[in-house]
């Protein structure tokens, strides 16, 4: 029987009673999806699976999103292999790829190799970030849109030695406008949908108003009561909802850390009817 053991009051649960090496029944898929929507991020321990089993498990929950910047052809596995992660972009609170016309629904990250110490990942509850704003600020945010732009994160990657053509990437993903408050397609709950990696401006506000409000909204996710922290072990997998969470990769190591990730898009029945999936290019 599948069981969910909450890790904190507001986000995260460890899952037991399922073997990811085996195909899942429809009932198991539905139970895992229910727990995933409730807890926002699920942790599976001691699941020593291969890439094929990783992809097969992911396909139960969404269609495969092929990563935007991979250099190794069409494999759905994105290998994160780092020894010097500081400033690479993961060490900022963010939702994945909010600059894309349709941001991914979620990701499944599997630990393959760890440094001797460090390399944790943190997640935060974006629903709670919205719900703990005062009602007047909530009402203001409900009316606002924001610009999401890939430029800053790409400049960081290039400065760290990654071989990207900035002009080509900017042409492929121009700045995009989306709501500051996202309504989750499956739960109907509102989530704060701005992040330090990609959000550059609140459209309806002046420069001075942006200087005051946007940093506050971005940093609001940093409150510890919204968060959960995972200490990885080889064979651990984390499965998070990109619509209701942000995450942060702790860059406190200098030895090799290797993770395999599969990112998924929503099936049509779970896609947003409005909001981030109907953006405007800027």
Residue with the bigger pLDDT between 211 and 155: it is 211
Identify the active-site residue in 39, 110, 148, 261. 261
Identify the active-site residue in 54, 78, 96, 178. 96
Give the contacts of 13 (CB within 8 A, at least 6 positions apart): 4, 5, 6, 7, 35, 38, 39, 41, 42, 43
Identify the active-site residue in 247, 257, 260, 272. 247
Domain ranges of the chain: 3-281
Residue indicated by tokens 């974006």 = 126
Q: What is the mean pLDDT of the chain?
A: 92
- Residue 196 scores a pLDDT above 50: yes
* Mean pLDDT lowest among 18-22, 164-168, 226-230: 164-168
In terms of Cβ atoms closer than 10 Å to its own Cβ (0-12, 13-18, 19+), residue 268 is exposed
CA angle 42, 47, 53 (to 5 degrees): 95
Q: Which of 69-83, 146-160, 239-253 has the highest mean pLDDT?
A: 239-253
Percent above pLDDT 90 for the chain: 80
Dig out the tokens for 140 from the structure.
């203001």
Q: What is the pLDDT of residue 277?
A: 45
Active site residue 247: yes
* Mean pLDDT lowest among 8-22, 31-45, 134-148, 166-180: 166-180
Residue indicated by tokens 């894309």 = 100
- Residue 130 scores a pLDDT above 90: yes
Residue with the bigger pLDDT between 108 and 280: it is 108
Active site residue 261: yes
Active site residue 39: no
The DSSP output letter for 141 is: H
pLDDT digits (tens, 9 = 90+) for 223-267: 999 999 999 999 999 999 999 999 999 999 999 999 999 999 999
Identify the active-site residue in 39, 54, 78, 94. 94
- Residue 26 scores a pLDDT above 60: yes
- Residue 275 scores a pLDDT above 60: no
- Residue 167 scores a pLDDT above 80: yes
Please give the backbone phi and psi of residue 239, each rounded to the nearest 5 degrees, phi first.
Answer: -125, 110
Q: How confident is the model at residue 280 (pLDDT cuts 50, 70, 90)?
A: low
Percent above pLDDT 70 for the chain: 94
Superfamily of domain 3-281: Clavaminate synthase-like (3.60.130.10)
Active site residue 84: no
* Mean pLDDT lowest among 40-44, 172-176, 191-195: 172-176
- Residue 88 scores a pLDDT above 70: yes
């Amino acid at each position: 029987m599948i069981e969910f053991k909450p890790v904190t009051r507001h986000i995260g649960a460890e899952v037991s009673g399922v073997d990811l090496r085996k195909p899942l029944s429809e009932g198991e898929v539905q139970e895992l999806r229910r727990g995933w929507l409730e807890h926002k991020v699920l942790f599976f321990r001691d699941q020593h699976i291969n890439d094929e089993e990783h992809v097969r498990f992911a396909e139960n929950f969404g269609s495969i999103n092929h990563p935007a910047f991979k250099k190794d052809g069409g494999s759905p596995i994105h290998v994160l292999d780092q020894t010097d992660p500081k400033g690479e972009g993961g060490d900022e609170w963010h939702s994945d790829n909010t600059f894309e016309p349709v941001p991914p629904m979620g990701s499944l990250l599997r630990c393959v190799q760890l440094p001797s110490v460090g390399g944790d990942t943190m997640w935060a509850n974006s629903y709670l970030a919205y719900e703990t704003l005062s009602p007047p600020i909530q009402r203001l945010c409900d009316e606002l849109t924001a610009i999401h732009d890939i430029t800053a994160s790409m400049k960081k990657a290039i400065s760290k030695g990654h071989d990207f053509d900035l002009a080509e990437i900017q042409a492929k993903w121009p700045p995009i406008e989306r709501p500051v408050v996202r309504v989750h397609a499956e739960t109907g709950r509102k989530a704060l949908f701005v992040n330090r990696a990609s959000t550059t401006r609140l459209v309806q506000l002046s420069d001075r108003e942006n200087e005051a409000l946007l940093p506050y909204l971005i940093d609001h996710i940093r409150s510890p009561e919204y968060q959960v922290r995972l200490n990885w072990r080889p064979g651990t997998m984390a499965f998070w909802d990109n619509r209701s969470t942000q995450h942060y990769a702790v860059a406190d190591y200098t030895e090799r850390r290797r993770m395999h990730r599969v990112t998924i898009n929503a099936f049509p029945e779970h896609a947003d009817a409005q909001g981030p999936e109907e953006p405007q290019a800027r």
